[in-house]
Amino acid sequence: MLENQEELQEQTTETAGVQTEETVNQDNADIQEPSQENPNPENNQVQPVSEKIKSLNTILGYVAVNKPIIFDKCVKTGAVAMSIFELLKMDFDLIKSGNNEEARLEKEDLVVASYMANSGLIGIPEYILYKGDLTGGEYDMMKQHTKLSANSALPISPVSTLAILDHHELPLAKGYNKKMTGVSRSAYVIGIADRFIDDAHMTSSLNKPAKSRYDAVSNAVSMFDNTSQIFSVEEINAIAALLLNINI
């Protein structure tokens, strides 16, 4: 199971290679720990990769070995989401958790949430993943991937699960769980990236024909008009422009 880190390390022979840049090359190095610019060139040394990022790469490596198509979706959704976070200058996010307390997602937590959001698809039966029109029961089973993904991320970054669980929520209670309030901007950003990757078929097709790049972008951001009060009009236009030109 994904939750068992020791089992993952035994079953994974190599770590997944991904980048969080606009251009993604799966043959490149592992996800790197988010870095900050150092104004002093003499102090510019390669920073060691944190245990959090090492654990993320281990889980992605397990997914890559067992379900390459899901790994592809995880990597590209994560890369697009991180590009949007960079565009919005979001180095962290504040999320309301239980008892109306506030949890803070640091940049590494955003990385984990972005790349792990779809890892739970590995636990969904293949006949559902590759089927076009789902029955009500099959759709309910598909929706479980958010919980499976959150369970996988829990040992790495407990706070990241808050964004993962809500990444299929939409304004006006039109998402998986029809939540009206309490959904974070980071969850919405990951959801935008997820819908874009699905519709544009930047990954191999699972169960539906690809849309044009324009239609994929339109579908990804159309729910976030100026009445949603989640993103400004300027932010939505900037996200749309990014998605129209991003190279994945």
Find all residues with CB under 8 Å of 70, minimum gap 6, and list them: 63, 118, 119, 121, 122
Least confident range from 120-124, 214-218, 225-229: namely 225-229
Check which CATH number belongs to the domain holding 138 and give it.
1.10.3210
Helices (H), 97-184: 107-116, 126-129, 136-143, 145-153, 161-165
In a domain, 4, yes or no: no
Into how many domains does the chain fold?
A: 1
Tell me what pLDDT residue 134 has: 87
Q: Is 95 helix (H, G, I), strand (E, B) or coil?
A: strand
In a domain, 5, yes or no: no
Distance CA 122, CA 145 (A): 8
In a domain, 42, yes or no: no
In a domain, 154, yes or no: yes
pTM equals 0.81
Tell me what pLDDT residue 176 has: 85
Residue 165 reports pLDDT greater than 60:
yes
In a domain, 88, yes or no: yes
In a domain, 8, yes or no: no
Range of the domain at 91: 16-36+47-245
Residue 6 reports pLDDT greater than 50:
no
Residue 24 reports pLDDT greater than 50:
no
In a domain, 10, yes or no: no
pLDDT tens-digit readout, 85-141: 999 999 999 998 777 788 999 999 999 999 999 999 999 998 888 887 889 999 999
Between 179 and 86, whose confidence is greater?
Answer: 86
Write out the H or E segment, with its range, that includes residue 217. Answer: helix 213-221
Distance CA 10, CA 158 (A): 23
Distance CA 193, CA 41 (A): 35
Tell me what pLDDT residue 159 has: 95
Q: Which whole number is the average pLDDT over 45-74? A: 91
Q: Which whole number is the average pLDDT over 195-220? A: 80
